[in-house]
A and B are shown apart, each in its own frame.
Chain A
């Protein structure tokens, strides 16, 4: 029983972290209807940033978020201006390959600048807290709480603020929104930059948990894709739910079947959801069948 409890709790907590790194992706998808294949490398760059601030300035990685989040916002805006925006009016494959090329570019620039060494930050909290027989790592719990707060704040922002309403209008009907005087290109820019900023936040939360190296993004990007589709592309609470699902499925299948199959199970889960509920758990109806990009 304590084993099952530990697996589920750990699965939920790590799922929260997965969700946090996927929210930016789902947001960008929901509004711009593009998949950013360089998402993992955005995470990598932000993790290097968090690492540098922690190691060089001696700050706490959570504090580093104060610098990393705006920096990633700026980075996202630049990438949007230089690569995404020129690709938007071209066939869908163009943006796919442009972001893919960007990911190769970022990986190898990182390799040249940072070498392939693994970089870490020292642990912040010494020991896990225990609830009965269950161990909970403080950094993991904190990450989960940040994810929840972030989800709630984003929901509030989208429901109540002018920006949020403009975003929703753009999602529903870009042309109509444009006619209503909503600056759609600027909404796109803000969303892409904002999505990147969220990756920056995720990176600060992940830095105490994972090492960073040039290809670290590869380990996470497929998980993020699965989560985003599972939760329903564009759905923020869907990403949270999807993240938790992936975390728990991975945890239980690795324990009860075999660790080698842990990843296979969430891909199989993903395909099943695609067959029977193609819009994801909380996605917009018809999103998958319309394709939302054509």
Chain B
């Protein structure tokens, strides 16, 4: 559990090496440069696919982390927001010819409303009850999307024409998508960092760590929770829209699937919950890893890549419960020369 220490704004402007709450560090700056380098460098197109997916899922993991890591709202229903965002911008594009550059904002907003609704439905629930309710919520959304065919295309899904065009936000070059996804990742990261340093952020930590104490200190837990969930859902919805623009095809059975919800929660869990850098590291590790395993072992025996993947996951979960960010923090405390 992270210590909710006092805000250390008085300290001189020293840029720390490793990430700290609410402040930028050299580590993050270098990581950003590496990301930019990866986009700019002339690397094979297949790697670029993995890289831009790592960016996208990094952003989605950060969005999940706002609810799950900072506010303690462990949600397994974020695929619903992802789907709502993706469907909103895609429906606007396909049915009404509205450019996704505008549609994305609608997608985020409507997903945010769904998030607030979920937070209110689950206002009184904690722990596994909360987790299972979010799962049920996403299932209701999925079945709704599956059966409202006139709007969502039902089980046949919605396709976006793959003809490149700036207005339709479809690009021929993967580099453009990589920039787009990196932009998303950076924006969500900046929001997360701002949240960490803000009063609202501290309210969330207080609610997460001790709700009674927080409410005695004048923090409204329900309001805090609802806003956190809405923000998290809205950012997830934007990610859903970007996903739709990249994959150009939405199918409720996958886009609103429990598997995807698990994925959103898994990346921060592996990377380190309640930290800004954790979800990013989680995505940068897991996303390429799962692609790699699939391409190496997918041909030898059906399911082998998933066997290896899941075994690795069990080991990581059991032996590195505080995630990669936890390992990094340990490294920060390591003083070999003192």
A293 closest partner in B (C-beta): B127
Q: Which residues of B contact A185 (CB under 8 A)?
A: none
A101-B314, A102-B310, A222-B135 known; A112 vs B304 contact (CB < 8 Å): yes
Rounded to whole Å, the gap between the CB of A105 and the closest CB of chain B is: 4
A35 closest partner in B (C-beta): B128
Find residues 144-189 in chain B having any chain A CB closer than 8 Å to their own CB: 144, 146-147
Rounded to whole Å, the gap between the CB of A99 and the closest CB of chain B is: 9
- Please tell me if the beta carbons of B314 and A112 are within 8 angstroms of each other in the complex: no
- Please tell me if the beta carbons of B126 and A288 are within 8 angstroms of each other in the complex: yes
Q: Does A58 contact B (CB under 8 A)?
A: no
- Please tell me if the beta carbons of B136 and A104 are within 8 angstroms of each other in the complex: no
Find residues 93-126 in chain B having any chain A CB closer than 8 Å to their own CB: 121-122, 124-126
- Please tell me if the beta carbons of A263 and B143 are within 8 angstroms of each other in the complex: yes
Q: Which residues of B contact A153 (CB under 8 A)?
A: none
- Spot the interface stretch: A4-12, A165-173, A269-277: A269-277
Q: Does A136 contact B (CB under 8 A)?
A: no
- Please tell me if the beta carbons of B309 and A104 are within 8 angstroms of each other in the complex: yes
Q: Does A267 contact B (CB under 8 A)?
A: yes
A278 closest partner in B (C-beta): B124
Find residues 273-294 in chain A having any chain B CB closer than 8 Å to their own CB: 274-275, 278, 287-294
Q: Does A96 contact B (CB under 8 A)?
A: yes
Q: Which residues of B contact A96 (CB under 8 A)?
A: 74, 131
Q: Does B25 contact A (CB under 8 A)?
A: no
Rounded to whole Å, the gap between the CB of A88 and the closest CB of chain B is: 11
A87-B318, A97-B313 known; A112 vs B127 contact (CB < 8 Å): no
- Spot the interface stretch: B54-62, B196-204, B265-273: B265-273
- Please tell me if the beta carbons of B306 and A107 are within 8 angstroms of each other in the complex: yes
Q: Which residues of A contact B129 (CB under 8 A)?
A: 229, 233, 274, 278, 287-288, 291
Q: Which residues of B contact A83 (CB under 8 A)?
A: 314, 318
Q: Does B292 contact A (CB under 8 A)?
A: no
- Please tell me if the beta carbons of A275 and B265 are within 8 angstroms of each other in the complex: no
- Please tell me if the beta carbons of B127 and A294 are within 8 angstroms of each other in the complex: yes
- Cα distance, A111 to B305, chains bound together (Å): 12
- Please tell me if the beta carbons of B126 and A291 are within 8 angstroms of each other in the complex: yes
Rounded to whole Å, the gap between the CB of A80 and the closest CB of chain B is: 13
- Please tell me if the beta carbons of B311 and A94 are within 8 angstroms of each other in the complex: no
CB < 8 Å: which of A97, A264, A293 contacts B128? A293
- Please tell me if the beta carbons of A290 and B310 are within 8 angstroms of each other in the complex: no
- Cα distance, A33 to B128, chains bound together (Å): 8
Find residues 252-304 in chain B having any chain A CB closer than 8 Å to their own CB: 258, 262, 265-266, 269, 273, 301-304
A94-B321, A112-B302, A275-B121 known; A291 vs B136 contact (CB < 8 Å): no
CB < 8 Å: which of B74, B121, B258, B265 contacts A274? B121
Q: Does B249 contact A (CB under 8 A)?
A: no
B118 closest partner in A (C-beta): A271
- Please tell me if the beta carbons of B321 and A105 are within 8 angstroms of each other in the complex: no
Pick from B127, B143, B309, B311 the residue with the most CB of A within 10 Å: B127
Rounded to whole Å, the gap between the CB of A246 and the closest CB of chain B is: 12
Q: Which residues of B contact A293 (CB under 8 A)?
A: 127-128
Rounded to whole Å, the gap between the CB of A147 and the closest CB of chain B is: 22
Q: Which residues of A contact B258 (CB under 8 A)?
A: 222
- Please tell me if the beta carbons of B314 and A270 are within 8 angstroms of each other in the complex: no
A290 closest partner in B (C-beta): B126
- Please tell me if the beta carbons of B128 and A233 are within 8 angstroms of each other in the complex: yes
Find residues 293-338 in chain B having any chain A CB closer than 8 Å to their own CB: 301-304, 306-307, 309-311, 313-314, 317-318, 321
A105-B314, A226-B136, A291-B130 known; A274 vs B304 contact (CB < 8 Å): no
- Cα distance, A270 to B131, chains bound together (Å): 13
Some 29 contacts from A to B, beta carbons below 8 A apart, are A34-B128, A35-B128, A35-B131, A87-B318, A90-B318, A91-B273, A92-B127, A92-B128, A93-B269, A93-B273, A97-B266, A98-B318, A101-B311, A105-B306, A107-B303, A108-B303, A108-B310, A225-B136, A226-B136, A233-B129, A267-B139, A268-B140, A270-B133, A288-B127, A288-B129, A289-B126, A291-B130, A294-B126, A294-B127
The 3 closest A-B pairs by CB, nearest first: A291-B127, A291-B126, A108-B303
